[in-house]
Structure 1
Amino acid sequence: MSSRTSSRISSARSTPRAARLPWRDRAGRFSPLKGVTFLAVLAPGVWIALAWAMGWYAPKPVTEAIHQNGLWAVRLILASLAVTPLRRIGNWPKLILIRRMLGVAAFVYVAIHFALYCLDQGFDLGRVASEIALRIYLTIGFVALLGLAVLAATSTDAMIRRLGRRWQTLHRAIYVITPLALIHFYLQSKIDVTEAVFMTGLFGLAFAYRLMHRLAIPLRAAPLAGAALLTGALTALVETAWYAATTGAPWQFILAANLDVETAIRPAWWVMTVGFGIALIAAVRLPQGGNPGRAARFTIRAEEGAASS
């Protein structure tokens, strides 16, 4: 068993009861970081409920609530994926404390998303099952929902103890689940996939950072800026390919419009902006190497043992 897995298991066994509250740390003390994160993940749900109650989603409140809950589910998945690279790049080890909260919140939003769809179908479960089986975008979305359910169910301390080293392998499935959620988003969006493309680019950044770490490429400003350029270019190609395939328009014109900032700033530019911002963080926080120092790495390992995804 790896030292990292052993650390998770021993930490899970020693967790005080008070620490199970989402705004407390492993010692049972109030954590400002976790408290702010808890309010942040709760706020969209409160806003959606308020908008529905006030009639702001008329004339189709259920449809709009379904859309908004699904949108926030994908956003929270991406936020959870951003935790590990940001704590490495920015040398912020305590960020690991909020990863599980973000992941579980993503599942809660997608579960509400599905429940509202069932409501929209009059809770006719036979019809719901038929629609899922016959409509490919619903099939893909339902598979993503099941995957998130498994990850959420195995995010408890008890499941970490039970699964041991298999826990980390299982939770890498998020890199399969996220593309499924994005494909569902594309197919559901149909005409305007601007936000879906932007989220695809952000996922590309998160995956690029993971790959860089895996290949031992230093997380310094220059390599990170290169990753931003490459991911931005790939984002532009994804958007071009989507609209060329769905509209039949010449891809050259779509790509030219994608790169023309005078007409509109397309998702590829925003993805590059985010990537360059992260490269700037690396330059400011880790000016000498792109990886945390020995003391910081020790702290990160301790925090990893204290928080699961």
Structure 2
Amino acid sequence: MIDRSAVLPAIPRPWLDRAGRLSWLKLAVFLACIAPALYLAAAYRLDALGAKPITALIHATGEWAVRFLLFSLAISPLRRIADWAKVIAVRRMLGITVMAYAVAHLTLYAVDQNLILTKVVSEIALRLYLTIGFVALIGLIALGLTSTDAAIRNLGPNWNRLHRLVYTIAVLALVHYFLQSKIDVTDPVFSAGLFLLLMGWRVMRRFKWPERPWSLLLLAILAGLATAGLEAAWYGLASGVPASLVLAANLDFSGPIRPAWWVLAVGLSLPLLALVRRPKARAAGPAPTRRPAATPRRDPVREPLSPRA
């Protein structure tokens, strides 16, 4: 009899860990990754996306690509600050999800252009925001295709260099998001503010600044202020609105809450996580000290003791 398992390719099961056991964390993240796609498909089927459903799908898939990109960049801070080592297991899944939504974003744009590829190519070449988005997409595809264990082994140290491009890709994606949004850039400003918050944490790690609750609180405040400044600068350059009016809108709570406050709210979760972790670390207490073992005598017949690594 023919062993079908040797002929048929293995079906990906991202909810399993490396030992083949069910991981509730990976299952929850997998369901969260596909939930927006299922919702958009159902909304399209039920004709609930407005007069231009394809346009709505183009915007939604692009927005979810940016969101999942930010989620993937949040894995390292969550792992370090919350002392949650297991969360690193879902970073690859999030990266593949970003690529999938970005590819769907471009595919739907091609559908909107009646699949006339020459028109799609010319639009990408002639419109700056499309060119920037396409470059970001190429980068995401490159990172997605090299996210396998085999690629990591084959690329060696070059793998880390390649995947550091994710920060440049994120900047390009955010610029594309801003330019595509045109008038109302509330959502792009919020996404950019979260990116500044995540990159600020990486700057702290890079220069080995202390990750204490007070320093993380300062980071959250600076990220909120930078978000407000970014919003004021964008409206001032794009539409000529005085920066003072945009900044003053952040203190007017009679209307929608501005993105800077939402970034501050997200940033405040970092010192809170640090505060929750610190009592646990103190409760665990210092590791018990052990008396140094006596140095064994070397047997001239055996190999000499190897030096400590």
TM range (shorter): 0.7 to 0.9
TM-superposed CA distance for 1:288, in Å, is 8.3
TM-fit CA distance, 1:19: 10
Quote the Cα distance in structure 2 between the aligned partners of 1:220 and 1:158: 38
Structure 1 residues 131, 125: CA separation in 2 closer, same or farther (over 3 Å shift)? same
Q: Secondary structure at the match of 2:250?
A: helix
Output aligned runs, 1:17-166, within 5 Å: 21-166=13-158
CA-CA distance at 1:264 after TM superposition: 3.1
Asked if 1:210 is matched to 2:202, the reply is: yes
TM-score calculated relative to the size of structure 1: 0.86
Conserved in 2, the CA contact under 8 Å of 1:240 and 1:258?
no
Q: Which amino acid counterpart does residue 85 of structure 2 have in structure 1? A: P
Superposed CA offset, 1:228-279 (max 9, x none): 0111100000000111112212211121113333433100011011111221
Q: Which residue of 1 aligns with 2:241?
A: 249
- Which of 262, 269, 273 matches 1:281? 273
Name 1:258's counterpart in structure 2. Answer: 250
Question: 2:25 and 2:55 mapped to 1: Cα distance?
Answer: 34
Q: CA deviation at 1:216?
A: 1.0
For the residues of structure 2 that align with 1:259 and 1:126, how far apart are their CA atoms? Answer: 48
| TM-fit CA distance, 1:289 | 8.1
Cα shift readout 1:13-69 (whole Å, capped 9, x = no counterpart) = xxxx98952001111111000001000000000000000000001310100001110
Deviations along 1:209-237, one digit per CA (max 9) or x if unpaired, are 11111111122211100000111100000
Matches within 5 A, 1:170-189: 170-189=162-181
CA distance in 1, matches of 2:281, 2:257: 33
- Aligned with 2:74: secondary structure? helix
Distance 1:132 1:246 in 2: 22
Find the counterpart in structure 1 of residue 306 from structure 2.
Answer: none
- Where structure 2 has 5 or more consecutive residues not aligned to the other structure, the ranges are 1-8, 288-309
- Equivalent residues, number: 278
Q: TM-score, normalised by structure 2?
A: 0.86
Partner of 1:302: none
> Whole-Å Cα distance in 2 between the matches of residues 156 and 112 of structure 1?
21
Taking a change above 3 Å as real, the CA distance of residues 18 and 84 of structure 1, as seen in their structure-2 partners, is farther
Cα distance, 1:168 vs. partner?
A: 1.2
1: CA distance between counterparts of 2:286 and 2:145? 34
Look up the equivalent residue of 2:154 and give its one-letter code.
R
| Equivalence for 2:290 | none
The residue type paired with residue 181 of structure 1 is: A
Say if 1:104 and 1:152, in contact at 8 Å, map to a contact too.
yes
The 3 A distance-change label for structure 1 pair 199 and 276 is same
Mapped to 2, the partners of 1:130 and 1:150 lie a distance apart of 23
Amino acid across the alignment from 2:235? Y
Write the distance in 1 (CA, Å) between the matches of 2:194 and 2:251.
18
Q: Which has the higher contact order (CA 8 A, sep 6+)?
A: 1
Deviates more, 1:150-159 or 1:161-170: 161-170
Higher normalized helix content (fraction of residues):
1
> Is there any run of 5+ residues in structure 1 with no aligned partner, and where?
1-16, 296-309
Task: Find the counterpart in structure 2 of residue 303 from structure 1.
Answer: none
**Following TM superposition, by how much is the alpha carbon of 1:207 offset from its aligned partner in structure 2, in angstroms?**
0.5
Task: Look up the equivalent residue of 1:101 and give its one-letter code.
Answer: M
- After superposition, the Cα gap between the structure-2 partners of 1:283 and 1:178, relative to the gap in structure 1 and judged at 3 Å, is same
Work out which of the residue numbers 164, 189, 193 in structure 1 matches 2:185. Answer: 193
Amino acid at match of 1:152: G
Output the CA distance in 1 between the equivalents of 2:271 and 2:71: 18
CA distance in 2, matches of 1:294, 1:152: 41
**Structure with bigger gyration radius:** 2
Distance in 2 (alpha carbons) for counterparts of 1:29 and 1:227: 39
Residue 72 of structure 1: how far off its partner (Å): 0.5
